[in-house]
Structure 1
């Protein structure tokens, strides 16, 4: 997937023990004149609210711009996912819009919030 520039998946590990506690991924939405990607993240719930999400997402964003060459990164978030909204806002992402009927989940088309950040 990385060789095809489709998705880059990074493990999140505890520094003290080396135990993997989650992942952050960046997938290519479009290249050419856009260099546009989407970020996603998952942390084991016992590690929520401890700063690991913010640290790993911020590091992945920096790498996405400097090493992978994206210009714009989006996060697509369920409307009721307050912790995820707080996380992306804490790393400097900005609310752009609500996309109506954007993703098919739980047997129906769901709206999603779109947050974005452009490379500096």
Structure 2
């Protein structure tokens, strides 16, 4: 378990992949390109969420990320910090050109996180996911490698 020295929130993670960089605890190459990089997010030793980034298409250098945090820890910057770090992993560690994320249209907090992380809203995807027997829409966000 490592703390990110640059972390304003002081969150710590426990990761399935080693963290070779002292700059952040989220970095680590996976042994296979399509295998997700996963981390549990801890604050003061308590599990408060989890995050993941994965490769959708190695040939097209495309990936996606997701996160979930316990509601008691919303509004404290953890999700924004995680989204920024996941984009960094996607671009710098996994070599992706394009990274996407989705959220429910009513989840204002989540789409604000994605926008604060520098992602652009591309679309509202109608009937994108079947949740508890009901079709629901999703908002699609993306970011392109800034060094490309």
Q: C-alpha displacement at 1:69, in angstroms?
A: 1.3
4+ runs of 1 displaced by more than 3 Å? Answer: 1-4
Q: How many residues align?
A: 117
Instruction: Give SS of 2:125's match.
Output: strand
Runs of 5+ unmatched residues, structure 2: 1-29
RMSD: 1.8
Structure with bigger RCO (C-alpha 8 Å, 6+ apart)? 1
TM-score scaled by length of structure 2: 0.72
How many Å separate the matches in 2 of 1:41 and 1:2? Answer: 22
Q: Paired residue for 1:52?
A: 78
Q: How does 1:1-12 map to 2 (within 5 A)?
A: 3=32, 5-12=34-41
User: 1:58-116, CA deviations, whole angstroms, 9 ceiling, x for partnerless residues?
Assistant: 11211111011111111111111111011101111110011122112121332211011
Higher normalized strand content (fraction of residues): 1
1:42 aligns with 2:68: yes
Matched, 1:74 2:100: yes
Structure 1, gaps ≥5 residues long: none
